[in-house]
Amino acid sequence: MAGGYFGMSPRLRICVRFTHVAFVILAVVCALPSFAIAQQPPDSNQPCIADLTQMSIEDLMNIQVTSVSKKTEKLFDSSAAVYVISSEDIRRSGATSIPEALRMAPGLWVARIDSSKWIVSSRGFGERFSNKLLVLIDGRSVYTPLFSGVWWDAQDILMDDIDRIEVIRGPGATMWGANAVNGVINIITKSSKDTTGMLLTSLSGDDVRTVNDARYGGKIGDDTYFRVYAKDSDHLNFDDRSGPDTGNGWRQGRGGFRAEKYGSNGALFSLQADFYNGSGDQMLFSGPGFSTPALSNFTESGTNILARWSRNPSPASGSEMQIFYDRTERNDLEDNEQRDTYDFEYQRHFSIGGSHRIIWGAGYRYSKDIAQNTPVVSFSTPELDTHIANTFIQDDIVLRPDRAKLTIGSKLEHNSYTGIEVQPSIRFAWTPSEKKTVWVSVSRAVRTPSRFETDTTVNWTGYPGGGPLPWILRLYPNKDFESEDLIAYELGYRTEPSSRISLDLSTFFNVYDHYQTFEVIGAPFAEMTPIPRVIVPLQSDNKASAKTYGFEAALNWQANDRWKLSGGFTYLKVNTDTDAGSTDFILTRFDNNYPHHQFNIRSCYDISKQVEFDVAFYGESHADCIYSPINSLNRLDMRLGWHIRKDMDLSLCGQNLLKRQHLESFTTFLDVPGEVPSGFYGKLAYQF
């Protein structure tokens, strides 16, 4: 066998050549800062890339968030475990997708399955479709009621358009409703007012073949702003255990617009829309017996339009109305569905006597889907309509101005599966000084049934049953499946011990009831078509309970005016217990289907006003995933950014640099996990 460079595969040789070129560019750019600075006139007003002095630790603690109470409040004073990923954090991380950016948030577990699929979960129960995590983009839910999860590849918006990502760990059901059980992720994009001018970006590398973005923003008259955008992306295959360079690459094109009109007395009307179309390949355990890999493909498309009107004449009062339409279509072996969703929300906030700050609202959602059977899933009802109606009220009671606040609220929600659900919460925040906040909360949240449990028959996965025929676990629908209940107890502490250090700590204890089990409902039986096989009949039920507890920490340290360090730590423990009489033999395998410990350390260093150097290290402990253990993982990312001139930036990023490729997780669905590769990419941005 030939050795060295010429013994490598063609793809690996390309990677090596790219790596060599990358480091040559790195060396050249590092040598340029002094020359660039020397050529710049002393009184030049040329803007440079955002340096670390633009946002101090105090500014970070004064960041305003809206996802906790649906109105603006300081993060430092909020009585919830909330973490904000800013646009600057995203830019300097080099993340090319929303899930990759979410790795920065403590309390979240992000694992890539293959080129187009991720696991994103909060405080346990990580799966490809994490059914206890609510995800929103500008207040529009992207949580699918089919499988109770998120198609992350369909949320491939422009990363440069994201203003911030607000991550709430723990229940948010009082404000956001059912399924905001273990967390809420609200992705908030920039206003059109902040994106005027033209932006062109082009990215190319090992993992991502190409990503090309174009955005133009402008102004009409004195009070109207707009932007339009287009994006095209092409993602390469990952190797997997069935062989090198197998099919799981994907491609997508998308576009859209946003417009805002500002009025008097704090009035604002906004209208935005997006559309996308994509396709790709995937390796699924869909061969004979659902235990052998086979190549499959998928297509996806969608359109959404959202209108929002708000009027806030003063900080103490205001109202908002939002309506959106969302159409999605996906065709693959696991999901062949077309869905139309209509959603309306109204809310109003006001003050009474200076000590009561009340917010109330109501909403209605109608969703209609048309599903077709596949060899993997079949539906009892081809067409299904679901309805959700809700109302909520919350009172922030100021017990002592700027020192103590009690928040009491509840949401009353009616859904098509279980009827009325009540989701109350009580929170208390004490701020003994401007530099310290202690908070505590008790909340109830529910995860309502989905079509997956109540209307779908699923050839779930192969099973090593023995004998000459393959065994398959088949999940049958249960129309009596109930909501899963959570009572969550949380405690948190925030402090700014100095002008350069901030610390955010939180701990929790969660108690789940009516937890989902997979009950054996009969003896295994033989089925002769389409191939001879043995079927193990299962059905979703609510015959378990669970307890989880953990600890999360986030630290920011401004070492000096040029160097900022950030870090996070997560500890999590899950214990499940089936009821007497349960025949479930799967649930306990999920107890360790995640890493118990995670941490990250991120360094952002400004070499000069033109050059940035960023490093991020991520680590997680061993995980006993349901089919095979995953070894402890360490990941190193590096980024070099160069502000070439006033309107042009170049960045070079290396990702997963410690190992050529590695496995991050298994999933209980049919997906064949891919080996996440190391790689480099370059990005050029031109703005004028």
Q: Tens of pLDDT along 568-577?
A: 999 999 999 9
- Residue whose token pair is 């996440």: 676
Q: Tens of pLDDT along 324-378?
A: 999 999 998 888 899 999 999 999 999 998 899 999 999 999 999 999 999 889 9
d(Cα 285, Cα 174) in Å, to the nearest integer? 40
Domains in the chain with CATH codes: 32-257+398-687 (2.40.170.20)
3-state secondary structure of 129: coil
Least confident of 118-127, 361-370, 394-403, 501-510: 118-127
- pLDDT reported for residue 670: 77
Half-sphere exposure of 685 (CA within 13 A, CB side): 17
pLDDT at position 5 over 60: no
Residue of 451, 456, 443, 452 lying closest to 485 (CA atoms): 443
Helices (H), 362-490: 451-454
- pLDDT category at 627 given cuts 50, 70, 90 is low
d(Cα 231, Cα 214) in Å, to the nearest integer? 6
Q: Tens of pLDDT along 521-546?
A: 999 999 998 888 999 999 999 999 99
Long-range own/partner contacts, residues 148-152 (CB < 8 A, 24 or more apart): 148/179, 148/447, 148/450, 148/452, 150/120, 151/300, 151/328, 151/330, 152/97, 152/98, 152/99, 152/117, 152/118, 152/120
Phi, psi for residue 5 in degrees, rounded to 5: -60, -45
- Residue 248: CB atoms within 10 A of its CB come to 27
Least confident of 10-19, 258-267, 498-507: 10-19
Instruction: Calculate the alpha carbon distances from 44 to 38, 41, 351 in Å.
Output: 12, 5, 49
d(Cα 249, Cα 123) in Å, to the nearest integer? 30
CB 239 within 8 A of CB 246: yes
CB 423 within 8 A of CB 174: yes
- Highest-confidence range of 157-161, 244-248, 662-666, by mean pLDDT? 157-161
Q: Tens of pLDDT along 574-615?
A: 999 999 999 998 887 776 778 999 999 999 999 999 999 999
Give DSSP secondary structure letters for 376-398: SEEESSSEEEEEEEEEEEEEEEE
Phi, psi for residue 230 in degrees, rounded to 5: -145, 145
Residue of 46, 129, 59, 68 lying closest to 88 (CA atoms): 59
